[in-house]
Amino acid sequence: QSVLTQPPSASGTPGQRVTISCSGSSSNIGNNVVNWYRQLPGTAPKLLIYGDNERPSGIPDRFSGSRSGTSASLAIRGLQSDDEAIYYCASWDDRLNGPWLFGGGTKLTVL
């Protein structure tokens, strides 16, 4: 099962800005928008960003997304301790013919 490529880990100190990358191909990120999710242990993934850079209501503007070519990024500014979680990117994949091709996940640690 192919997945989008994310770094397995990332870290930052409170107040910092961190970015998490997500790399794909022309069959997914290159031609389709990206969603980002945050998952805390034992809970369902929570949507942070959809359509590359749209935030659902209730998601603070500390979270932002971008997409360029076959890569996407999630930026978190003003890092807080409760941002510590696993972050997943996802995109429609034309070969999979489905809406959710996920990344392997990035564990964000707040130092």
Partner 1 sequence: QITLKESGPTLVKPTQTLTLTCTFSGFSLNTDGMAVGWIRQPPGKTLEWLALIFWDGDQRYNPSLRTRLTIAKDTSKNQVVLTMTTMDHVDTATYYCALRTDSGRDYWGQGTLVTVSS
- Which residue's CB is nearer to partner 1, number 1 or number 81? 1
Name which of 77, 94, 84, 88 is nearest 30 in CA terms. Answer: 94
- Which residue's CB is nearer to partner 1, number 51 or number 60? 51
Name which of 72, 56, 53 is nearest 64 in CA terms. Answer: 53
7: contact with partner 1 by CB under 8 A: no
In whole angstroms, how close is the CB of 34 to partner 1 at the nearest point? 9
60: contact with partner 1 by CB under 8 A: no
Burial of residue 26 (number of CB atoms within 10 Å: 0-12, 13-18, 19+):
exposed
- Which residue's CB is nearer to partner 1, number 12 or number 105? 105
- Which residue's CB is nearer to partner 1, number 71 or number 87? 87
87: contact with partner 1 by CB under 8 A: no
Task: Scan for tokens 């998490």, then name that residue.
Answer: 20
In whole angstroms, how close is the CB of 110 to partner 1 at the nearest point? 21
Give residues 33-52 in contact with partner 1 (rule: CB under 8 A): 33, 35, 43-47, 50-51
10: contact with partner 1 by CB under 8 A: no
Give SS3 for 75.
Answer: strand
Name which of 2, 81, 3, 89 is nearest 38 in CA terms. Answer: 89
